[in-house]
Structure 1
Amino acid sequence: MAARAEVRTERLALEADPELAGTAEPEDEEEDGEEDEEAAAARRARRFARDPRVSFLGGRLCQVLRLPEEKWSQCLESEDNRQILGGFLESTSPDCLVFGVPTAGQLVAFPEIPRDAKHKLVYLIKKTAESTGEKDFSRTVLFGELPVLSLTHITTFLDEILVPILSNKKNHKSWSCFTSQDMERHVEALKNKIHVFRGKMSRRTLLPIPTIAESIDLEQDYSENRLQSDERKIIHAIESVVIKWSHQIQEIMAKALVQPLLNGHRLTPEAELDFWAVRRENLECTYRQLQAPVVLKMAQILQTRQSSYFPTLKEIFMAVDYGKTPVPDPGFTITVCP
């Protein structure tokens, strides 16, 4: 009865005030139109979600990203997400699809890997360039993850997949000798650069070890006069990497405490303590790498073969050993210039 009274009251008010009636009716029609659009969008999302491929994809994504099922439903409410996903399912291009949770816990679809991603991503790749049917979808689509720190993912991919494949001589059968050797050099250079860069990201100096050094027999005596062909390759690889090590050690020693002052920054006691602590830890880490059995064996080979690079390697050992010792005590009182 109360509801009927309210309706009757509103109707009487509109009849009593024509201006109010004239303005109210369009607003009601506009609200009805918005409700119709929302209802239509909800129907499209439900109809799209009933596709078995979409259901399979949502289940896998929620499992990998550890999201509740309602997050997938909210993702499908977006027309943009449905268009991107529909294009992946029905057309031959794109054949790659990426999902992530960039902000506010909302699942978003991307047609390609976003450059500024700061969150975990899940990607899908088609095994075939054709439209994927409902029955074959689970067998023709590959899932993969891209972690927040992509560098770790890249180094793992290089070390465990790319480098072994490109270094395997069985995969070089259709190549010429020169192409095979050139590929080996490029792969070695790429692996060393990634190894060094990974160290810089962790504020450490990582010394690259030649791949061919893995074949060094630690028990073999390399003091014989005549060199075998494989031994020549080993010595050349060692001498080449000694030059890289020398540049890396020079970079550590050349880094000065006054560099922030030269850049216009104020040097605080905390910054100075951090500088010496990082320098000491870095040199100790480098020293441990130089004491590895394979590195000591590399030094022995250069010494017994009287290589002209042995004095350089000896200087590297001495510089690191000397540099890691005479550093200020962190408890020492530091005077900072104004």
Structure 2
Amino acid sequence: MDQNQNGPLQSVRIFALNSFRLDPDRWRDLETDEINAEVLNGFCSSQEQRPLFVHLQPDSGVRADLSFPPGVHTKVLCVSKTVRDSRTELDLEEIEGGGGLSVLIGLTEEVACPLLSNCASRNRWAGGVAQEALTVLERKRRAAMVMKAQMEGHTFLPHPDAVSSHNSRHDGHHDNRGTVAHTELKVSDVALLHACEGTVVEWAELVSDFVHQDWSRQVLDGLKPLPAEEIDFWQSRLKNLLFLQSQLKSSKAQQVASILRAADSIYWSILKDIDREVQKGKQTLFLHLREEHV
């Protein structure tokens, strides 16, 4: 591995050695392996804030991937980039593979977050402690949902933290459709509006990257895929389009839409374009699968 790029990963090395209780030679094997070295170099040199995943395989040792490794049911180390004060820093965290993610998401959604959001429970905490704990749990839940979606080959649309904070301060002010009531649509919090606008930009990029995936690219690249692989590609694509559609219709996505619409933000029209792009992709794919009798 390029020595100039080894510096930023020194903290990853220490974290992995401690987390997996590895002998240092095991990490050196990772760095000298051609495939792993290419992944590590790509992570260091890329300007994208794409995470790096490090996991332990019983047969092949420590492995590095730029996507969540499928079929892993043990601990996975997630390394993500964060820009602070014009400097890129690495955030390190341990994630449980397999069913552990579902358990974490379920406990957070059904127990921890409702408890911390409850006014009666929150009043028993010191000032600000419950809100801070809720924010941390929301971020952990979101990270787990991103990982779970990647494991299933889906595209997860993250929600802004500001919406969760806004909800916790305004419990019970939602209409029957799950959207923010009209009295809540007068956006005075500029930070909340900007968070929603930034989220729409991120959603647009994620959806665009997915819908522009082209099966013919594999043929042009000379991969010679089998017919069964093409069927799997289209079926997986349909599942992801339905997953995207359900996310765009979720209560939190509708809250983002309500805030943008109330502020007459130009990003409201972008959000509508995202929804139209997903609907168009789904309808086109239904026609294709019908023609192919899949």
User: TM-score, normalized by length of structure 2?
Assistant: 0.49
Rg (Cα) greater in structure: 1
User: TM-score, normalized by length of structure 1?
Assistant: 0.44
